[in-house]
A and B are shown apart, each in its own frame.
Chain A
Amino acid sequence: DTGVSQNPRHKITKRGQNVTFRCDPISEHNRLYWYRQTLGQGPEFLTYFQNEAQLEKSRLLSDRFSAERPKGSFSTLEIQRTEQGDSAMYLCASSPSGTVKNIQYFGAGTRLSVL
């Protein structure tokens, strides 16, 4: 399977704990995105990488959130001191660079539940 892969699929944690999610994009895609989606809403943009460079971050991304893509391949999203409001589906997407059409290919997401 050469699609976008996210791990874990589900994560249950207690408030105040740190969590880390991983995304493996489609191998030839230079761009990688993180989104958050809550029930009944569309995906909300969090941040995006072009290769290893983090080029844009949403104001939604508080200082408790950090994302990395150290070698321009897989990416991690870490949430520190989780809060109940962080409960959501975290989606990763990738796309090839240099295309105006910029079709994004999404992973199945990591569902986070903060108790």
Chain B
Amino acid sequence: GQNIDQPTEMTATEGAIVQINCTYQTSGFNGLFWYQQHAGEAPTFLSYNVLDGLEEKGRFSSFLSRSKGYSYLLLKELQMKDSASYLCAVSKGGSYIPTFGRGTSLIVHP
């Protein structure tokens, strides 16, 4: 199976930077996704990492280390609307179906 671990909750201040970590244990690793989910809404795709390193996309960046089974999502210049749950998901095997972690609830306050 896959063990995916991420913090349950984090808080940060508007305008600041926050890093949400995700560790995983799996065989047959394909890649790692980050999704954002606002309360009561559908998860929406943020990023996908398959190779080691940092991928930057606007205010959001995602990092992967395959050898360490570790990823993080970096959010810069935080805005109130960034308050949401951030889901780490690992894809493995031939079907490429991601398995989701429990999510990290991020609260951004003024």
Contact = CB atoms under 8 A, between A and B. Distances in A.
Interface of A: 4, 33, 35, 40-45, 48, 55-56, 91, 100-109
B96 A107 contact: no
Contact of A4 (B31, B42, B91, B95): B42
B98 interface: yes
Given A42-B87, A42-B89, A42-B103, A108 B41 contact: yes
B42 A100 contact: no
15 contacts: A40-B8, A40-B105, A42-B101, A42-B103, A43-B87, A44-B100, A45-B97, A55-B95, A56-B97, A91-B43, A102-B91, A102-B96, A104-B45, A108-B42, A109-B42
B20 to A, nearest CB: 13
Interface of B: 8, 30-31, 33, 40-45, 48, 50, 87, 89, 91, 95-103, 105
Interface residues of chain B: helix, strand, loop or mixed (majority): strand
A101 B42 contact: no
Contacts of A43: 43, 87, 100
Given A42-B89, A91-B42, A109-B42, A104 B98 contact: yes
B96 A106 contact: no
Contact of A41 (B40, B45, B48, B102): B102
Contacts of A109: 42
A34 to B, nearest CB: 11
Nearest to B91: A102
Residue of B33, B42, B89, B105 ringed by the most chain A CB atoms within 10 A:
B42
Contact of B42 (A42, A45, A102, A107): A107
Contacts of A105: 45
Contacts of B30: 100
